Structure 1
Amino acid sequence: MNCLACTRALDNTARLCPTCTRGLDVRLADLPRQYLLLGLAENLQRRRSGDRGPVAVVRDAPMPLSEAALTLRAEGGIVTVLEEWRAAMQDARGWGPPAIGGPCARRVRDAARGLRMSLEWIAAEWDAAGDLSHEVRDLAARCRAVTDPADPEQQSRLLGHCVVVWEDGTACGADVRLPHGAPIAQCRRCQTTYPSATWLALRTGQPEPTDTAGTGVAA
Structure 2
Amino acid sequence: MKYCIKCGAQLPATAEFCPACGTKQPAVSAPAQPAPTVTPAQAAPAQAQPQPSAAVTTPPLTAQGNAGAQAGTAQPAGDIRAAMARAAAAKAKPGDPEWVPYNQYPEHGLINGWRVAFVDLVQPNQCIGRANYWYAYIYAFVLVAICEFGGPIALAIGNLVSISLDWRRLNDIMPNSTLAWCIIIVDIFLTFTSLLNPFIIFGDVAISLFIGLSKTNWQTTGERPVSPAA
**TM class by shorter-chain length?**
under 0.3
With normalisation by structure 1, the TM-score equals 0.27
With normalisation by structure 2, the TM-score equals 0.26
